[in-house]
Amino acid sequence: MNFNNIIEELASGNSEKLGKTADRRDMLKGLGAKLAMAAVPFAAASLFANKSYGQSKETLVNILNYLLKLEYISRKLYAEAMLVEDLLPAEFKTHFEKIAANTQSHIDALKQLITELGGAPSNITDDKIDLSGGRGFGGGPFANALVNTEDFLILMQVLTDGGERMYKGQTFQVLSDKITLGTLMKIHSVKARQATFARFLRKYLLKEDIKPWITGTNSDTTNTAAQRAYAGEGNTIQLGIDVVGINGYQVNADAATQAFDEPLNMIEGNNILERFLDLT
């Protein structure tokens, strides 16, 4: 039996029965016994621990519109930066063109998912985006992002390191919609590549001591406004298992945090993004 058949079976036959709480509980009870025999206790535990059995369309649309905010801000940043003379290294002009094009594609992909779900994609026009991080008043902590290369790269890093973490924080919130989940995963690793590129440019062009990966909660900048993008990155416990010194290997705390990027939840993400929006 493949996944298709299961879906068909569920779709055709006893879906109403499965939808009722009591029956679902019975089904899960029986399932628990079978799972124990199948020796996948952690999977069973996960199933029972999962509070929701599916996300509503409203929830999914809300998540996708949240991620759209990130993309609109990013789109404006790249578009404006490419217009400023000598801000971006000429050697990597095509890279930024590709990043800008990919950002537009991400917007298109998110909008399409929202439309397919029957929702309305939010639209934030450029005049409502304050790249300085000044909440619409200008003069914010990233006021020089379009003035000098280092500040630009730090903002790009916040939106890509922070961005992949925002996507990551929604992957397991959209479990019931496999199409959305697949798209979020595939955008999310592209953000991580863009973050790597921004970090590389700081090292290569500006000779800064910075790695391709995130170490602890280190933002790798003295701009404290960047810090929110790194909150929670110091975690060394995965699935209840401490990774530091695991099984006697010399995996120190730095390596243990570098090896896993942590999710940002929607509240944390909005705290980062709303700085760049004129919500008045």
Partner 1 sequence: MQEEVSINTGVSRRKFLGYAGIAGAGLLIASCKKEEKVVAVDGATDLGTNDEGLLNLMFVIQQVEAGFYEALLKNKYTGMTAEEEAYFEEMLDHEIAHRELLRNYLAGRGTVVTTDFSDVKFAVRSSVMDNAELIENLAVATLNEAGRLFVAGEHVSLAAKIASVEARQAATIGNMRSWGNFFGPVDVAGLEQGSLPSNTITTINRFLSTKVSGNNLPNM
Site for partner 1 in 81-140 (CB under 8 A): 91-92, 95, 98, 101-106, 109, 116-117
d(CA 87, CA 161): 21
Minimum CB distance to partner 1 smaller for 148 or for 200: 200
- Tokens representing 211 are 């790695």
- Tokens representing 96 are 């930024």
Q: How far is CA 165 from the centre of its chain?
A: 4
Q: Which stretch binds partner 1 (CB under 8 A): 146-154, 184-192, 224-232, 267-275?
A: 184-192
Instruction: Assess contact for 232 and 264: CB atoms under 8 A.
Output: yes
d(CA 221, CA 171): 28
| Residue the block writes with tokens 């992949």 | 164
Under rule CB under 8 A, residue 182 binds partner 1: yes
Tell me which of 9, 58, 97, 126 binds partner 1, using CB under 8 A.
Answer: 9
From residue 5, give the alpha-carbon distance in Å to each of 9, 11, 13, 48, 77.
Answer: 6, 9, 12, 23, 46
Minimum CB distance to partner 1 smaller for 55 or for 144: 55
- Tokens representing 108 are 């298109």
Q: Which stretch binds partner 1 (CB under 8 A): 80-88, 223-231, 237-245, 269-277?
A: 237-245
Site for partner 1 in 34-53 (CB under 8 A): 34-35, 37-40, 42-44, 46-47, 50, 52-53
Under rule CB under 8 A, residue 206 binds partner 1: no
Per-residue binding string, partner 1, 139-178, x by CB under 8 A, is -------------------------x--xx--xx--xxxx
Tell me which of 80, 150, 208, 262 binds partner 1, using CB under 8 A.
Answer: 262
Output the CA angle 169-173-178, nearest 5 degrees: 115
In whole angstroms, the minimum distance from the beta carbon of 22 to partner 1 comes to 14
